Structure 1
Amino acid sequence: MGVVIRDHEGRVVTALKAKAIAFVEAIDFAWDVGISDAHFDTVRGLSTSPVGISNIVSSMCLRLQDFHFVQVLHVKRLGNKPAHILAQYAKDLDS
């Protein structure tokens, strides 16, 4: 699910935050289902996060330390085919 909230001048202010929260959910889900070796693909690197979500990024980094092995890779948006396929599937669901 993509979320974009803009300010009164049309600037995006929370889209990245929504993506960061989705990443936190992915980390929690992986841990909850018993995955200890994880590979996460993201379309935005953690090192380029704006100050407004620094607490979320810090939380993600702490949670990732619980895994036995973890790898976070930046994937160009056009190269993120699994996410695209899931989004196309989800848009056709009734609930």
Structure 2
Amino acid sequence: MDPRWVPPSPPWYKVNVDAAVFDQLNSVGVGVLIRDHEGSVVATMSKHLPLPLGPLEAEGKAMDEAFTFAWDIGVRDVVFETDSRTVFDALTRTITPPIAIANLIDGIHQKLHFFRATCFLHVLRYSNKPAHTLARYAKGINNFVSWIEENPPIIESFVIQDDMYLSSS
């Protein structure tokens, strides 16, 4: 498994998803990063949810939020990437979803038909660092913030690093 972010083949988009749990606030943060086959940032989102979820539930909720965000942005051929092995295995039906995320996984499976094509990938945490940074950023916001066709300053260094790697390949 490559530790670096790898772009999808056209016409696919990659949606990197992660969550962060803020125990003291009884809330979670969601980070979503959508990029095209050239590695260009199409859209990003940080969302703060006042839900007292554990790590697994937060990862499942983050994937659910990513589906809605990707649909709203207008991407229809999507590779969803998560660093949660359990969420990945549940989405690919490799395992029966744990009861804590079963309803979320069922809801996501129902949303699959909205898209032309979808697939799921499990990635190393290192490859998902921009999405995790966006999830952590949500701690300081009230609801959500999104950036369309621009790199948020908080992840710009990661995107530049990926661009340099892609250029040298």
Identity of aligned residues (%): 35
- Cα distance, 1:22 vs. partner? 1.1
Aligned match of 2:21: 3
The answer to which structure has the higher helix fraction is 1
TM-score scaled by length of structure 1: 0.71
Trace 1:1-95 onto structure 2 (pairs within 5 A). Answer: 1-3=19-21, 14-44=54-84, 45-47=88-90, 48=95, 49-86=97-134, 90=137
With normalisation by structure 2, the TM-score equals: 0.43
| Alignment gaps of 5+ in structure 2 | 1-18, 24-52, 143-169
- SS of the residue aligned with 1:35? coil
CA contact (8 A) 2:20 2:132 kept: no
Higher strand share: 2
Q: CA RMSD in A?
A: 2.7
Unaligned regions of 5+ residues in structure 1, if any? 6-12
1:82 shift after superposition: 3.0
Larger RCO: Structure 1 or Structure 2 (Cα < 8 Å, ≥ 6 residues apart)?
Answer: 2
Deviation (angstroms), 1:71: 1.3
Change (3 A) 1:37 1:94: closer
